[in-house]
Each structure stands twice: as C-alpha cells, then as structure tokens.
C-alpha cells in the first residue's frame, strides 16, 4: 500500500516578509546582523514600516513549512501541521500554502482569534540573513494541531527543532514521534538553529530519546549537540542517536551518513545573494529523493543542487519548473 504523503511536517507557521536592506539600515535601527531575534509585534511593525513597500516579498513560511513545500515542488506529497490565527495574515498563510500543493490541518472555519506569526527577513549585501520574528499564535502550537490520520498515511515524520522552545510544542513532538514509532513511520528531525541546540539541548535529548531515523543539522549544531571539538568526532557521536544523518557544511557541501558509510557531497559554486531557506530546501530535496527511489548519495546531490539554486536568488523558494530542471540534471549526472 502506498501512503498518501511522503512527509508529514510539524513546525511554526510564519508569514515571511523578505526585504533587501543596506548595512546602514541594520545599524540605524540597532538590529543585530546575522541573527534570528525574537521581538514583540510593536518592534516588528516599526521595522516593517521603515521599509519601502515595493521592497517586500511576502509568502507562507516557517522552517519546516519551507521543507514540505520543497517536497511538493519536486513532485512529492506533503502535509503540514501548524497554527495560524483568524486574521488577514492567517488567511493569507492558509491560501498560500495550499497553492503550493501542501495539505494542512488549517481550516478557515476553525481558526482561532489572535495574531499570526511573522518573520521579517532582512537580507544584507553580503547575502547574510537577519531575522526579527514575532511568533504570535504559533507559540501555542500543541497536540491539538496533530492529525494522526494524516500522519498514519505518511512515510516520514519531519519535526522542526524550533518547536522545542515551548513545553506544549515539545509535548507535541514527543507524542507525534511515539505515534510514528508505534506505527512504523520513519522519524526525522532538524535541529533548526544552533541556538536551539545551545539553549534547549536537554529538551532535544528528551525528544530524540532512543534515537531517530534521520537527522538534519549543520556543522555547528552537530558539534554543539555532541560536545565535540571536531566534525569527525561529532559525526561518530551522531551515529549513537540517529540511524542516518545529513550534516550541511555551507560552501563546503555536505556530509551524509547512509547507515553504513559516509558520503561527501560536493558543493555547487554559485554567487550567494540570499541564504534564506537553504537548509530547509536541502532537507526538502533530500526527503523527496529518498521517498522516490533515489540513493542517499543521489539525494545529497539533489539537495546540494537545490540549495545552490536557493542561495543564488532572493527567497526560500524555487519554481516547479526549476525543480523539474534539477531532477533532469540529477538523472543525467
């Protein structure tokens, strides 16, 4: 029996407002460059109002949302468990993620009152991203947002590490993971951000428990979680908590462990314009590939190709046509 979904994702739902800014904008507005900073709504609105309206691109986002949308763009099937409110941004989110071919638990008739989360992504001339995020109603994400029927019809559960920062988010991750394990569904996790590993390491350990089937992280996160001083040491430690994993290394490509051997994934050299969503795209392309008959080496290559495409443009999305071209490039070698 073929499952309905390749990937069931769970994570924050944020409307991304992406804008290119100069260094002076960050300095004048006392924004810490290169970091993801949680702010209140007043501060976020103040920054948004300082940007020209024509210099804003809006789309549904959130780390795991970007990943499941990528799965869909490549031709896969995905579901997203998330939470938005009954406001203009929530309605936008519901419609935008549906237009990207992703099924969700969201229903226009049952959205709660509140404020939908938003992430202001400021891209500086060096392609670095600085994010000021107001989480809004997504901070109340809980087990109520889980759809066990959809999860039961999925090959992979994909959990966003950012959810670990709230008790009810962490509880939802633990419940979903146990359900997946009890029903033969593969479990996967992304650490999401070094800060999540640094400040919520014990919580991450509780979620991982006896281990996961697939882990996504970058070099810094791998070393922080394992307490290692080198990547070679960290990767050996990661074997103890994940059957397989992918460690992204930025401009140096990635390292994949397929359960038996390590595979070095070569980078594709491009001029970086915007690094927003590169890691999310890597996970999405990788998950699509392993769900559609490709080896881990091939999945790593597609993920590296897709990530290089993302950083060479503004925003965390590629078009469906671009995804098709990347699949042809993968097949042709």
pLDDT digits 0-9 by tens, 166-217? 999 999 999 999 999 999 999 999 999 998 999 999 999 999 999 999 999 9
Q: Which helix (H) or strand (E) holds 309?
A: helix 296-311
Among 185, 167, 84, which Cα is nearest to 176's? 185
The mean per-residue pLDDT over the stretch 64-70 comes to: 96
pLDDT digits 0-9 by tens, 95-110? 999 999 999 999 999 9
Say how far residue 81 (Cα) sits from the centre of its chain. Answer: 13
Distance CA 83, CA 312 (A): 31
Distance CA 24, CA 127 (A): 15
Residue 53 CB contacts under 8 Å (≥ 6 apart), including other chains: none
pLDDT digits 0-9 by tens, 264-274? 998 887 766 55
- Tell me the CA distances in angstroms from 140 to 77, 82, 161, 171, 219, one per residue in order: 26, 10, 15, 12, 30
Distance CA 153, CA 74 (A): 19
Boundaries of every domain in the chain = 5-12+62-89+140-332
The mean per-residue pLDDT over the stretch 219-233 comes to: 96
Distance CA 159, CA 36 (A): 19
Pick the CATH number of 5-12+62-89+140-332 from 3.40.50.300, 3.40.50.970, 3.30.70.1290, 3.40.1190.20: 3.40.1190.20
Distance CA 47, CA 24 (A): 13
**C-alpha torsion 221→194→211→1, nearest 10:** -100
Model-level pTM? 0.92
């Amino acid at each position: 029996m073929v499952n309905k979904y390749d990937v069931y994702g769970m994570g924050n739902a944020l409307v991304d407002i992406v804008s290119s800014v100069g260094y002076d904008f960050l300095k004048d507005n006392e924004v810490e460059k290169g970091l993801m900073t949680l702010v209140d709504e007043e501060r976020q609105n103040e920054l948004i109002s300082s940007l020209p309206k024509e210099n804003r691109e809006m789309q549904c986002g959130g780390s795991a949302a970007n990943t499941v949308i990528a799965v869909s763009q490549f031709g896969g099937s995905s579901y997203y468990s998330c939470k938005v409110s009954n406001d203009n941004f929530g309605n936008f989110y519901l419609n935008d993620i549906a237009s990207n071919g992703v099924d969700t638990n969201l229903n226009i008739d049952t959205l709660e009152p509140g404020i939908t989360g938003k992430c202001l992504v400021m891209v500086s001339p060096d392609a670095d991203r600085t994010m000021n995020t107001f989480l809004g109603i997504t901070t109340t994400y809980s087990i109520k947002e889980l759809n066990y029927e959809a999860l039961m019809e999925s090959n992979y559960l994909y959990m966003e590490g950012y959810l670990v920062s709230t008790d009810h988010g962490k509880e939802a991750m633990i419940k979903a993971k146990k359900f997946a394990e009890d029903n033969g569904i593969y479990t996967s996790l992304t650490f999401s951000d070094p800060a999540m590993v640094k400040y919520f390491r014990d919580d991450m350990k509780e979620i991982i428990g006896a281990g996961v089937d697939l882990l996504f992280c970058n070099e810094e996160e791998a070393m922080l979680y394992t307490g290692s001083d080198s990547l070679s040491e960290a990767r050996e430690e990661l074997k103890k908590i994940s059957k397989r994993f992918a460690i992204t290394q930025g401009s140096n490509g990635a390292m994949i462990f397929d359960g038996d051997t390590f595979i070095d994934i070569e980078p594709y050299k491009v001029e970086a314009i915007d690094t927003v969503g590169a890691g999310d795209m890597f996970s999405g392309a990788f998950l699509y590939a392993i769900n559609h008959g490709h080896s881990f080496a091939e999945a790593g290559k597609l993920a590296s190709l897709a990530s290089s495409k993302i950083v060479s443009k503004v925003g965390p999305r590629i078009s469906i046509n671009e995804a098709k071209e990347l699949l042809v490039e993968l097949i042709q070698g």
